[in-house]
């Protein structure tokens, strides 16, 4: 059947491998992917473990629907204690690795310890070997994958790997597969580097039996037709996520020059339409009909002639608006560099933007920056700092430590200019005009985030009947208000909570958020998830049971964070959100800030809806209802 994938516990220190079954009872309670990973992280990681020490556990998984007849069912999830934040480290990655892992017989890998020498894992049809990777150490992401394909004499192998940034323990290093698929957030590449683990390679010839193959195929066809009929899918087929920039910048929702403005003037050079000059086609992840990924060749500058993939909206901001650069070639070059060396595009851009604001304010000088002129809009300086962060060279060594540690080294009040929550920097968005989105970044379990709780459709000011269809009693009961103005504080706590559970379910199933209710209200959610699971796996779970599984897993993430020191104070926005109004944009965005008292009230409401107490701690009643407790259960 489709649910016969195993759990492997791999200890790199003693080179042991233990293979276990995943009980059906655990499947029903946590599904798979991120959901089951949260359970494994809570059970296998000792409290207070050093994120870069051998006791930190790293988990790699595919979703419950991974590789099956479900749209975009190729997502892979990676989890550990984050070396960037100290809290939940969690990131999701596209491509083809997760289905290949499943074809090789495994759904979840729990990796502990530290290899004595650089190593890689070779996973092939039910077997796991720990192999020498000394010849791979020092290679970049692209070189590593090519070398492994040659070494294993199989171009169809799928590889997760780290680049030089992961080896050097840059605290926001990524885990990569392919040319651009990045588990980018929370520094999981540094966890791999700390374990001397260069790569994980999978190849499988196994099959996945579909419970109801004809019905599953037909249902998947209908879901794909529904997805492709939406405006969002049609737009992404042409421009990818880059299309988002034009509208958000025109309104005034784009964070510019770190946090000095919310609109990039004369920023037309970053518009998605400019990709027509460099694009050589589009690609897609496993099981995806949208094909949202640009393939491009850089035409100008030091990297002219280089083939790369992307960039995403996040790179437009990281190396465009946030650092005041208006040349698309800068974005394309930096996008290539962070993917090649294995670094989070958002954190890299944020660290450079923060340093630029400090430089322009005179808080740091040329003496601090190794003589690099870190003025906003200095394209050459941005590209050079990307290289220096990846290599931990000079001032780049400080920035490679991430926001809180870097500010601790720089001092001089520099922490006031960080745009971070829980130690992780935010997307290049400005949430001061949008209270719901502000609450989402403040409360996200892994730090400032736009894809774990963001009610993106709130900015559309949708008709109330549409909001009722999405958020009212779907599938859990909700009797509170729903307000279709994005500047309102009413009803937004429920929207954030609903999206949290929706995205947790998506990550647990192993499908793409863009194929669910994220940026369109007309895409699948819990009712469709239930049908997909039944037709593919034979597991009959109601929409409410999937909601409860998502709630159970999200609650465990919260419990893990509390165990590692999280308090209500960590669910808070940067001070500038409250005290500095937006200076630019259309009237709907200009002159906006977050009202502190109303935000605190919204946070109280959010906690109450979660059944957490006033400090944000899950109540005993909630834990009893979900069947979980503060002590690890060690079922697996």
Per-residue model confidence as pLDDT tens digits over 331-378: 999 999 999 999 999 999 999 999 999 999 999 999 999 999 999 999
Domain CATH code at residue 460: 1.10.599.10
Claim to verify: residue 266 and residue 324 sit in the same structural domain = yes
Give the mean model confidence (pLDDT) for residues 97-123: 98
Q: Give the residues across from 10 on adjacent strands.
A: 17, 111
Helices 435-443 and 492-509: crossing angle in degrees, nearest 10, is 50
At residue 635, the pLDDT reads 75
Residue 189 forms part of a structural domain: yes
3 state SS of 200: strand
Does 230 fall in a domain? no
Residues 361 and 300 in one domain: yes
What is the pLDDT confidence band of residue 580, given thresholds at 50, 70 and 90? very high
CA distance 17 to 39: 20
**Does residue 293 carry a pLDDT above 80?**
yes
The domain that holds 302 is classified in CATH as 1.10.569.10
- Token pair recorded at residue 610: 């979660």
Q: Which residue has the tokens 């709130």?
A: 458
Query: pLDDT digit string (tens) for 181-210?
Result: 999 999 999 999 999 999 999 999 999 999
According to DSSP, the residues that pair with 6 across neighbouring strands are: 106
Greatest CA separation for the chain: 67
- CA-CA distances (angstroms) from residue 494 to 233, 325, 436, 553, 612? 26, 37, 9, 18, 14
Position 636 scores a pLDDT of 82
Is residue 278 scored above 70 in pLDDT? yes
Residue 482 near residue 472 (C-beta atoms within 8 A)? yes
**Which of 43, 189, 58 minimizes the C-alpha distance to 111?**
58
Residue where a domain terminates, one of 425, 446, 477: 425
- On whether both 157 and 247 belong to a single domain, the answer is no
Torsion angle in degrees (nearest 10) through CA of 271, 274, 278, 283: 50
- The answer to whether the predicted template modeling score (pTM) of the entire model surpasses 0.75 is yes
Number of domains, the chain: 3
Report the SS3 class of residue 369: coil
Q: Are strands 106-112 and 6-11 parallel, antiparallel or unpaired?
A: parallel
Indicate whether 440 and 410 sit together in one domain: no
What is the reported pLDDT for 163?
98
In a domain, 185, yes or no: yes
Kindly state whether residue 218 falls inside one of the protein's structural domains: no
For residues 281 and 298, what is the distance between their CA atoms, to the nearest angstrom? 13
Residues 444, 416, single domain; the answer is: no
Task: Answer whether 311's CB lies under 8 Å from 184's CB.
Answer: no
Per-residue pLDDT for 302 more than 70? yes
CA distance 337 to 525: 36
362: Cβ contacts below 8 Å, ≥ 6 apart: none
Tally DSSP H helices, then E strands, for the chain. 23, 17
Sign of torsion over alpha carbons 405, 408, 414, 416 = positive
Strand partners, 79: 59, 90
In this structure, what CATH number is given to the domain that contains residue 49? Answer: 3.60.9.10
Distance CA 606, CA 153 (A): 53
Mean pLDDT of the chain: 97
325 and 469 part of one domain? no
Residues 251 and 189 in one domain: no
Q: In this structure, are 26 and 82 located in the same domain?
A: yes
By C-alpha distance, which of 63, 76, 66, 78 is closest to 33?
63
| Under 8 Å between Cβ of 169 and 139 | no
Residues 46-69 have a mean pLDDT of 97
Nearest to 471 by CA among 501, 446, 441, 447: 501
pLDDT for the residue numbered 1: 60
Give 375-381 contacts, CB < 8 A, sequence gap 24+: 376/257, 376/323, 376/324, 377/323, 377/324, 377/325, 377/326, 378/325, 379/325, 379/327, 379/329, 379/330
Side-chain-side CA neighbours of residue 209 (13 Å)? 7
Instruction: Please choose, from the candidates 303, 310, 301, 262, the residue with its C-alpha nearest in 3D space to the C-alpha of residue 283.
Output: 310
Tell me: do 330 and 350 sit in the same domain: yes
What digits encode the pLDDT tens for the residues 237-276?
A: 999 999 999 999 999 999 999 999 999 999 999 999 999 9
Q: Give rounded-to-5 percent helix, strand, coil for the chain.
A: 40, 15, 45
Mean pLDDT confidence for 174-179: 98
Instruction: Please determine, for residue 398, whether its predicted confidence score (pLDDT) is greater than 80.
Output: yes
Do 442 and 406 share a structural domain? no
Bridge partners (DSSP) of residue 600 are none
pLDDT digits (tens, 9 = 90+) for 498-525: 999 999 999 999 999 999 999 999 999 9
My answer on whether 147 and 278 are in the same domain is no
Instruction: Confirm whether 631 is domain-assigned.
Output: no
Cβ neighbours, 10 Å, residue 246:
17
Within-domain flag for 583: yes
Annotate 360-396 with b (16+ C-beta within 10 A) or e (fewer).
beebbeeebbeebebebebbebbbbbbebbbbbebbb
451 — phi, psi (to 5°)? -130, 25
Which residue segment(s) compose the domain that 327 sits in?
A: 239-425
Element (DSSP H or E) covering residue 559: helix 543-563
Question: Do 193 and 258 fall within a single domain?
Answer: no
The count of other CB atoms within 10 Å of the CB of residue 404 is 17
Helix or strand holding residue 182 (H, E): strand 181-183
Given the structure tokens 């394909």, which residue do they identify? 149
| 457-462-468 Cα angle (round to 5) | 90
Would you state the pLDDT for residue 242? Answer: 96
- Which residues is 17 bridged to in the sheet? 10
As a whole number of angstroms, the distance between CA 333 and CA 331 comes to 6
The pLDDT tens digits for 435-481 are 999 999 999 999 999 999 999 999 999 999 999 999 999 999 999 99
Query: What would the two tokens of residue 564 be?
Result: 């590692």
CB atoms within 10 A of CB 559: 19
Beta bridge partners of 20: 7
CB-CB neighbours of 479 under 10 Å = 7
Residue 116 lies in a domain: yes
Please state whether beta strands 197-203 and 119-124 pair in parallel, antiparallel, or not at all (unpaired): parallel
Domain end among 382, 402, 425: 425
How many angstroms separate the CA atoms of 198 and 193, rounded? 7
Q: Is residue 502 part of a domain?
A: yes
Instruction: Kindly list the distances between the CA atom of residue 217 and the CA atoms of 63, 70, 206, 636, in Å, as whole numbers in the listed order.
Output: 18, 8, 19, 33
Q: How far apart are the first and last CA of the chain?
A: 20
Domain boundary among 154, 180, 203: 203
Looking at residue 632, its pLDDT comes to 83
């Amino acid at each position: 059947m489709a649910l016969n994938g195993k759990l492997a516990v791999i200890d790199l220190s003693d080179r042991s491998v233990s293979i276990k079954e995943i009980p059906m009872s655990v499947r029903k309670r946590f599904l798979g992917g991120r959901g089951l990973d949260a359970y494994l992280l809570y059970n296998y990681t000792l409290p207070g473990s050093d994120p870069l020490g051998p006791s930190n556990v790293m988990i790699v998984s595919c979703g419950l629907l991974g590789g099956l007849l479900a749209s975009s069912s190729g997502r892979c999830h990676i989890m550990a204690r984050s070396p960037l934040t100290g809290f939940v480290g969690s990131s999701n990655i596209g491509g083809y690795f997760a289905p290949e892992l499943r074809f090789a017989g495994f759904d979840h890998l729990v990796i502990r310890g530290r290899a004595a020498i650089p190593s890689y894992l070779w996973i092939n049809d039910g077997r796991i070997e720990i192999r020498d990777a000394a010849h791979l150490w020092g290679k970049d992401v692209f070189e590593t994958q090519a070398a492994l394909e040659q070494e294993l004499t199989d171009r169809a192998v799928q590889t997760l790997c780290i680049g030089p940034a992961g080896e050097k323990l840059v605290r926001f290093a990524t885990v990569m597969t392919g040319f651009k698929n990045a588990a980018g957030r929370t520094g999981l590449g540094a966890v791999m580097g700390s374990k001397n683990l260069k790569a994980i390679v999978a190849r499988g010839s196994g099959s996945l039996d579909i419970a109801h193959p004809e019905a599953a195929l037909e249902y998947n066809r209908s879901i794909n037709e529904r997805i492709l009929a939406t405006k969002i899918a049609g737009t992404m087929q042409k421009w990818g996520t880059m299309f988002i920039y034009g509208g958000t910048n025109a309104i005034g929702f784009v964070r510019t020059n770190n946090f000095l403005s919310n609109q990039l003037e004369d920023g037309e050079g970053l518009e998605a339409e400019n990709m027509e000059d460099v694009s050589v086609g589009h690609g897609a992840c496993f099981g995806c009909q949208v094909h949202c990924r640009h393939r491009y060749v850089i035409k100008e500058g030091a990297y002219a002639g280089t083939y790369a993939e992307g960039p995403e909206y996040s790179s437009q901001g990281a190396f465009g608006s946030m650092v005041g650069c208006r040349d698309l070639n800068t974005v394309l070059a930096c996008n290539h560099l962070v993917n090649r060396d294995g670094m989070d595009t958002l954190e890299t851009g944020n660290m450079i933007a923060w340093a630029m604001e400090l430089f322009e304010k005179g808080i740091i000088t040329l003496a601090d920056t190794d003589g690099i002129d870190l003025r906003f809009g200095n394209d050459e300086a941005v590209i050079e700092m990307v290289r220096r962060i990846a290599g931990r060279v000079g001032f780049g060594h400080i920035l490679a430590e991430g926001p809180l540690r870097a500010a601790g080294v720089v001092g001089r009040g520099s922490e006031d200019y960080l745009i971070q929550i829980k130690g992780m920097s935010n997307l290049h968005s400005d949430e001061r005009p949008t209270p719901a989105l502000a609450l989402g970044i403040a409360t996200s379990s892994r730090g400032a985030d736009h894809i774990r709780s963001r009610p993106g459709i709130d900015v559309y000011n949708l008709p109330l009947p549409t909001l009722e269809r999405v958020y009212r009693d779907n599938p859990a009961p909700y009797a509170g208000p729903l307000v279709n103005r994005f500047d309102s504080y009413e009803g937004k706590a429920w929207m954030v909570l609903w999206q949290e559970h929706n995205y947790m379910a998506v990550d647990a199933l192993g499908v793409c958020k863009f194929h669910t209710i994220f940026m369109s209200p007309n895409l699948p959610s819990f009712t469709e998830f239930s049908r997909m699971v039944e037709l593919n796996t034979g597991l009959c779970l109601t929409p409410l049971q999937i909601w409860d599984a998502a709630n159970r897993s999200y609650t465990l993430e919260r419990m893990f964070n509390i165990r590692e020191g999280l308090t209500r104070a960590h669910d808070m926005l940067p001070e500038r959100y409250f005290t500095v109004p937006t200076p630019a944009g259309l009237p709907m965005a200009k002159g906006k800030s977050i009202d502190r008292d109303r935000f605190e009230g919204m946070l109280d409401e959010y906690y109450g809806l979660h059944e957490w107490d006033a400090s944000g701690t899950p109540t005993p009643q909630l834990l009893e209802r979900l069947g979980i407790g503060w002590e690890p259960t060690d079922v697996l």
